[in-house]
DNA sequence: TCGTTATGAATGAATG
DNA sequence: CATTCATTCATAACGA
């Protein structure tokens, strides 16, 4: 679930070329290739959160070039990524609050007194949004805008060998 | 389990410093101190299986007294503990079944009983003093995380529904 | 020191 | 959308 805590893991691609799973997975479930993951992440950070079935289809088509993939994989990917990002933030936020409270308390008298009032505020008072994404239900229109912002080529930075294996497919968000 | 390892992890230096258990490893991933482990185990054996976000938070707060810990750790702990218990039981069941098959069915009833020997969540509906709060002088709002505090009854109803966990071959995914 | 085991962490896939 | 489950990956802990 959570991601990017204190560890940063980079899943290596399975050179084999074919796909199915990056690592030596028993091919039971889909596992994004590095390229697929890269693009998906790219889309996500560009603001895309809940792609429409249409978008999913297109994304899936694009990604299929890098390996076996079904649209439902894309669907789930976004679903999970979004949920986990949210969930993570929630947990972390609360932990931070807890930490702040506890450090401001005397270690020994730190009875569990107020530690229990439900710290619920989920209010996003933050304003450091890197992207103009509406934290909540984003609409199709918004996604389009963001998606188009994704026109940069950063997502095409391949690494040596991959460069060879993958023809220069234009992955610019042509869909939508 | 051996082949295909192609993941490289770069551990962001982590202060660590926790660990109270055995070896003092100052490493990246959390490891429960003996006290933390003890309490978690108590909660688990008291019937708690899937703590809600709130409960996780509370538990985490409590455990933080015994050492560095984040709510996600608690979350994972329960997730893993439950999964592995289930997994273990599944394996045992399988073995039993295999045994039944290889042996005359005359022993069926006998073994059948054994199939459920596995102690499922003891219905400890009794309030348990899981935390040594007394040691710090109780305060009015002093809340103990007894199993009873978890009004989420679901945690006490995992008696057997989970075991009948047969993947409903129902792929009603009708994407696009 | 190395192989194994236990377990923390992550994530794909569902389900309600 | 949140919550849960299964399976896998990674590594700390441990035994020889």
In Å, how far are A150, B41, B70, B72, B103 from B22, measured between CA atoms? Answer: 50, 17, 20, 22, 44
Q: What is the pLDDT of residue B49?
A: 92
In Å, how far are A111, B2, B4, B24, B91 from B135, measured between CA atoms? Answer: 9, 48, 51, 26, 42
Q: What is the pLDDT of residue B53?
A: 87
B31 touches strand D (CB under 7 A): yes
pTM for this entry? 0.61
**3-class SS of residue B11:** strand
Domain positions in chain B: 34-104
Q: Which of A22, A94, A111 sits opposite B57 (nearest CB)?
A: A94
The reply to whether A61 touches chain B by the CB within 8 Å rule is no
Given an 8 Å threshold on Cβ–Cβ distance, is B4 in contact with A10?
no
Q: What is the pLDDT of residue B101?
A: 67
Give bridge partners of residue A9 from the DSSP assignment: B9
| Contact assessment for residue B32 and residue A32, using Cβ atoms and an 8 Å cutoff | no
pLDDT confidence bin for A64, thresholds 50/70/90: very high
**Average pLDDT over all residues of chain A:** 59
pLDDT confidence bin for A42, thresholds 50/70/90: very high
Between 3.40.50, 1.10.287, 2.60.40, 1.10.10, what CATH number should domain B34-104 receive? 1.10.10
**Distance of alpha carbon B43 from alpha carbon B128, whole angstroms:** 9
User: How many Å apart are A71 CA and D7 C1'?
Assistant: 21
| A164-171 contact pairs (CB < 8 A, 24+) | A165/A17, A166/A35, A166/A65, A166/A66, A169/A62, A169/A65, A171/A39, A171/A62
Per-residue pLDDT of chain B (176 residues; tens, 9 = 90+): 333 333 333 333 333 333 334 344 445 899 999 999 999 999 999 999 999 988 898 899 889 999 999 999 999 999 999 999 988 877 666 666 667 766 554 444 344 333 333 334 433 333 444 443 333 323 333 334 443 333 333 333 333 333 332 222 222 333 44
Q: How far apart are the first and last CA of chain A?
A: 30
Tokens of A87: 């969930």
**Distance of alpha carbon B89 from alpha carbon B158, whole angstroms:** 14
**A111-169 confidence digits (pLDDT tens):** 433 333 333 333 333 332 333 333 333 333 333 334 433 333 333 333 333 333 333 33
**Distance of alpha carbon A133 from alpha carbon A145, whole angstroms:** 10
Given an 8 Å threshold on Cβ–Cβ distance, is B176 in contact with A7?
no
A167 touches strand D (CB under 7 A): no
Length of chain B: 176
Q: Give the pLDDT mean for A37-61.
A: 94
Q: What is the DSSP letter of B6?
A: -
The reply to whether A103 touches chain B by the CB within 8 Å rule is no
User: How many Å apart are A21 CA and D7 C1'?
Assistant: 13
Q: Give the pLDDT mean for A81-93.
A: 85
Which residues of chain B does A24 touch, with a Cβ-Cβ cutoff of 8 Å? 3-5
**Distance of alpha carbon A94 from alpha carbon B72, whole angstroms:** 11
Of A84 and B146, which is predicted with more confidence? A84
B157 touches strand D (CB under 7 A): no
Helix or strand run (H / E) with residue A79: helix A71-103
């Amino acid at each position: 679930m959570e991601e990017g805590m204190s560890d940063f893991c980079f899943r290596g691609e399975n050179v084999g070329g074919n796909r199915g799973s990056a690592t030596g997975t028993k091919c039971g479930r889909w596992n994004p290739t590095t390229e697929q993951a890269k693009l998906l992440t790219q889309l996500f950070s560009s603001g895309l959160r809940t792609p429409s079935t249409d978008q999913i289809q297109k994304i899936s088509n694009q990604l299929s070039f890098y390996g076996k993939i079904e649209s439902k994989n894309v669907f789930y990917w976004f679903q999970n990524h979004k949920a986990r990002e949210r969930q993570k933030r929630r947990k972390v936020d609360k932990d931070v609050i807890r930490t702040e409270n506890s450090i401001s308390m005397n270690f020994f008298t730190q009875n569990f007194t107020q530690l229990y009032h439900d710290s619920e505020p989920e209010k996003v008072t933050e304003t450091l949004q890197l992207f103009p994404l509406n934290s909540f239900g984003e609409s199709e229109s918004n996604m389009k805008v963001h998606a188009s912002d994704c026109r940069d080529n950063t997502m095409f930075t391949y690494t040596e060998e991959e460069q060879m294996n993958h023809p220069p497919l234009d992955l610019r968000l042509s869909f939508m």
